[in-house]
Amino acid sequence: MRIEELKDKNILIMGMGREGFATARFLKALGLGNALAAADKKAFEEYTVDEQKFLQDGFELHLGQEYLKNWSNYDVIIKSPGLSIRQFPEIEKAIAGGAKLTSATNIFFANKLGKVIAVTGSKGKSTTSSLIYALLKAGNIPVDLVGNIGKPALDFLLADLKLSEQEQREKYYVFEISSYQLEDFNSAAEMAVLVSFFPEHMDYHGGEEPYFQAKMNLISHLGELSKVIYNFASEKLRAEIVRRFGTTRSDQLIPFNDGDAIRLAKSEQNDEWCLEVDGKAIISASEVHLKGRHNLENMLAGCAVARELGIEWGVVNGALGAFVGLEHRLELVGNYKGVTFYNDSFSTAPESTQAALEALGGEAVIGTMIAGGVDRGYKYEGLAKSIVETGVKNLVLFPVTGALIEKAVREYCAVGGGDVPGIYTAGNMPEAVEMAYKLSPSESLCLLSCASPSFNLFRNFEERGNLFKNFVREFGKS
């Protein structure tokens, strides 16, 4: 929705979290809206003093238990991500009454003059977005990192509206974009980067296929010059590209990890993996900080973007070699009492934990793996196979999915899949870390990679990972 369309309208912001407040700041700063309102199930008293002052200055408030009532007089509803349209009949009723539904993401895309490199995927989108941002910075291309991992996009757009039109048009935005933001996405990015797919957030979207199609909204409204950069090794992504665009390759469709132009290849010198583009070796696995094939594939996505933008390969090599990765994603905590600890709390689905096991399994013995969390209906048979084949010695499991992981491991071993590791349960993080110290053999690894969301025991994956690191360091001193 264009800025002009938001003038002289009664506007309701639904969801006053990080992005909701960014939307409110944007509307107020530009003097948009005949009347502004904010709706959230969070009560007024739960906001900070500064947030309360902000909300009281010019907003009609629908907060707390009554937040879904009295929506009939709004012309525009701006929905925050994380609030699924299908879960709120009030939205459908308002639309039937003539209200227009939009989002901060769609407002950003409708009004920005710069170019967007939008990155999505079930896992790897944060790392890939940060990596692409680092490559553009190294190539002296004006760029901001926005979306889930950066500041909200409307904060950047508000600041950039003060620039000249030429400066705005020269700008790039690397936008990490989630399935929540894509559910009602109706715009186009100059580059759409698709890094991976496996089932996640099915409770929000109502199943695997709606989740996948939400992701694919990123390539549903392509412009004439848009590029689609996609992981060819993902069968699901590859099949969708063929379904939508046919089998003829064009300048618009750019596969990576395809065994051809942008691929992982074995070095002739030492038989290790290296990133190769158009037959040119860019960097080898031993020269980068990130571990695991999945992270090398993320780097291939970055190489594909760099090739399209003409960034010199020497610059790319330097940026890839300097990139240290993100917190809670196979993050090295340190070596304490002869055990090396890794924090992979961001792995909230079994496929992501399998990638972590693959990345670390060849490095040393995994003495203990800590896993388990909220049950979102994931299947753990593949993870059980990885646990046993990687030779994990001990499992420390949180409820609820800890029991499901244990069941899958025992069933895999029962049909000749190997020996059952030691299996233990923990009800909190200090208990789990204390067990890891006792159970992990000297010179082995301890991996926190839960294969499940965190919300039954922790506020989010960040809290889970931070608690893990804190107790690892605390118990490591004693």
More confident residue, 249 or 158: 158
Q: What is the pLDDT of residues 454-474, one digit of tens each?
A: 989 999 999 999 999 999 999
CA distance 90 to 95: 9
Q: Which residue has the higher pLDDT, 249 or 359?
A: 359
pLDDT digits (tens, 9 = 90+) for 38-73: 999 999 999 999 999 999 999 999 999 889 887 778
Give the model's pLDDT for residue 204: 54
What angle do the packed helices 350-361 and 293-309 form, to 10 degrees?
Answer: 100
Confidence of residue 207 (pLDDT cuts 50, 70, 90): low
Model confidence over 139-176: pLDDT tens digits?
Answer: 999 999 998 776 899 999 999 999 999 999 999 999 99
pLDDT at 387 over 80: yes
- Residue 366 has phi, psi (to 5 degrees) of -90, 100
**Same structural domain, 142 and 285:** yes
Q: Same domain, yes or no, for 156 and 57?
A: no
Pairing mode of beta strands 422-425, 394-397: parallel
Among 216, 219, 4, residue whose Cα is nearest residue 110: 4
Last-in-domain residue among 270, 303, 322: 322
**H helices, E strands: number in the chain:** 18, 20
Q: How confident is the model at residue 203 (pLDDT cuts 50, 70, 90)?
A: low
The pLDDT value recorded for residue 97 is: 87
**Is the separation of the CB atoms in 436 and 370 below 8 Å?**
yes
Q: Are residues 308 and 271 part of one domain?
A: yes
For the domain that residue 398 is a member of, what is the CATH number?
3.90.190.20
pLDDT at 214: 85
Q: Are residues 226 and 291 in the same domain?
A: yes
Q: Tens digit of pLDDT for each residue in 355-377?
A: 899 889 877 899 999 999 999 88
Query: What whole-number distance in Å separates Cα of residue 120 and Cα of residue 240?
Result: 15
pLDDT of residue 271: 78
Is the pLDDT assigned to residue 394 strictly greater than 60? yes
* Statement: residue 420 has pLDDT above 70: yes
CA dihedral over 202, 207, 213, 214, signed as positive or negative: negative
Mean pLDDT of all residues in 29-46: 95
Whether 396 contacts 424, CB under 8 Å: yes
Instruction: Kindly list the distances between the CA atom of residue 161 and the CA atoms of 111, 166, 227, 436, 448, in Å, as whole numbers in the listed order.
Output: 9, 11, 26, 52, 43
Domain check: are 288 and 400 in the same one? no
User: In whole numbers, what is the pLDDT of the chain averaged over residues?
Assistant: 92
- Dihedral angle sign, alpha carbons of residues 270, 275, 281, 287: negative
For 200-222, what is the mean pLDDT? 76
Average pLDDT over residues 300-313: 97
The sign one gets for the Cα dihedral 253, 258, 259, 264 is positive
Query: What's residue 176's pLDDT?
Result: 94
My answer on whether 277 and 405 are in the same domain is no
Write out the two tokens for 279. 């037959």
From 54, 71, 103, give the residue that closes a domain. Answer: 103
Say which range, 157-171, 191-205, 217-231, has the weakest mean pLDDT: 191-205
* pLDDT tens-digit map of 93-139: 888 889 999 999 999 999 999 999 999 988 788 899 999 999 999 99
> Quick one: 40 exposed, middle or buried, by C-beta within 10 A (0-12, 13-18, 19+)?
buried
Q: Are residues 302 and 418 in the same domain?
A: no
Q: Which residue(s) pair with 256 in the sheet?
A: 231
Has residue 199 got a pLDDT over 70?
no
Do 347 and 315 reside in the same domain of the chain? no
Task: Please state the domain count of the chain.
Answer: 3
| Cα–Cα separations (whole angstroms), residue 265 to 262, 287, 296, 330, 469 | 9, 15, 11, 23, 35
Q: What is the four-CA torsion angle of 288, 291, 297, 300, rounded to 10 degrees?
A: -10
Question: In this structure, what CATH number is given to the domain that contains residue 160?
Answer: 3.40.1190.10
- Residues 441 and 303 both lie in one domain: no
Contact 33, 9 (CB under 8 A): yes
Q: Are 136 and 244 in a shared domain?
A: yes
Q: Order of strands across the sheet with 280-284?
A: 262-266, 273-277, 280-284
Boundary of a domain, candidates 322, 344, 372: 322
Q: Are residues 354 and 467 in the same domain?
A: yes
What residue numbers bound the domain in which 72 lies?
3-103
DSSP state of 160: H
Q: What is the pLDDT of residue 268?
A: 73
* Cβ neighbours of residue 187 closer than 8 Å, sequence gap 6 or more: 105, 106, 109, 110, 221
CATH of the domain at 84: 3.40.50.720
Q: 337 with 436, same domain?
A: yes
Q: Please report which confidence band the pLDDT of residue 344 belongs to, taking 50, 70 and 90 as the band edges.
A: very high
